[in-house]
Amino acid sequence: MPGMGTSMAGTGAMFEFDFMRHAFWAASIVAIVAGCSGYFLVLRSQAFAGHALAHVGFTGATGAVLIGIAPLWGFLVVTACGGVGMALLGERLEGRDVAIGIVLAVSLGLGLLFLHFFTSYAVQATALLFGNLLGVDAATLRTLAVLAAVSLAGLALISRPLLFASLQPELAEAKGVSLRLVSVLFLLIVAVAIAESAQIVGVLLVFALLIAPAAAAQRLTSRVGSGVLLAVVIGLLISWGGLALAYYSDWPSSFWITALGGAAYLASGLVRRAG
């Protein structure tokens, strides 16, 4: 079967390049973190909060570029602060989509203003907005791995009270669970996941890895453990598939990852209807 041999050879050649190996490792790390944290984000109906944090983080990343430090750290710090702020506001954020939307627009505009003062960073701006998975180097890969380990450990530690507070908040509070503390800790973990995901697909497309796999998984199973695992698997498949398609088509990997994420969500709806 010559066709299969050619395909296998092409796949092997793809991993001969350091940047492709780094990209696959980075995509895998981010898909695992995004799948786990994204599942609870969707379960808690906080998908819009994740979108808001991504835009706020863009301001932090561009501010970091402005003062000469790595964008990832600016993104992480400002996103973490934004997550804590949202958690402390709690119920006062409910029904305030317009206000949050305005904050998002202002944050994005402020980030672009920062880049205006350093026009030589236009390429970095594009990478921040749309991701640059093929540009991940070994140092960034190590940083992503450390952040992933910290966020997954934190999520494991709060998983039981988080699940209790997500499914039965009134009962959890009556049992002594601090809903505000759980919310603060969870959104800090989400901030790390968003900062990592933005390195892969960018600020504007962060939903592709954070929300789409988790939403698809929740359509396919109601069990939490199976749902988290399925969200991770879907995230890995769309990340790996997006990278492979980018390699063979020379189209942006972010496009393929977001397209596959949307396709996975639509497919999950068809499967649920068929079942």
Q: 23-37, pLDDT tens digit by residue?
A: 999 999 999 999 999
Question: Is 3 part of any domain?
Answer: no
**What does the pLDDT read at residue 265?**
93
Q: CB-based contacts of 118: which residues, under 8 Å, 6+ apart? A: 65, 66
pLDDT band at residue 4 using 50, 70 and 90 as cut-offs: very low
For residue 109, what are the CA distances in angstroms to 5, 77, 100, 104, 231? 50, 19, 14, 9, 33
- Distance from C-alpha of 134 to C-alpha of 185, rounded to nearest angstrom: 31
pLDDT band at residue 79 using 50, 70 and 90 as cut-offs: confident
Q: Is 95's pLDDT higher than 70?
A: no
Question: Is 166 part of any domain?
Answer: yes
Question: Is 10 part of any domain?
Answer: no
For residue 78, what are the CA distances in angstroms to 197, 241, 264? 15, 31, 31
Look over the chain and give the mean of its residue pLDDT values, rounded to a whole number: 82
Which whole number is the average pLDDT over 87-104?
Answer: 60
**What does the pLDDT read at residue 37?**
93
Question: Is 1 part of any domain?
Answer: no
Question: Is 6 part of any domain?
Answer: no
Question: Is 43 part of any domain?
Answer: yes
The larger pLDDT score, comparing residue 268 to residue 199, is at 268
**What does the pLDDT read at residue 9?**
46
Specify whether the CB–CB gap between 169 and 179 falls below 8 A: yes
Question: Is 200 part of any domain?
Answer: yes
pTM for this structure?
0.83
What's 35's domain CATH number?
A: 1.10.3470.10
User: What is the number of domains present in the chain?
Assistant: 1
Q: Cα-flanking dihedrals φ and ψ of residue 69, to 5°?
A: -115, 170
Q: Is 148 exposed, middle or buried (0-12, 13-18, 19+ CB in 10 A)?
A: buried
Specify whether the CB–CB gap between 193 and 14 falls below 8 A: no
Residue type, 110: L
Domain interval for residue 170: 17-274
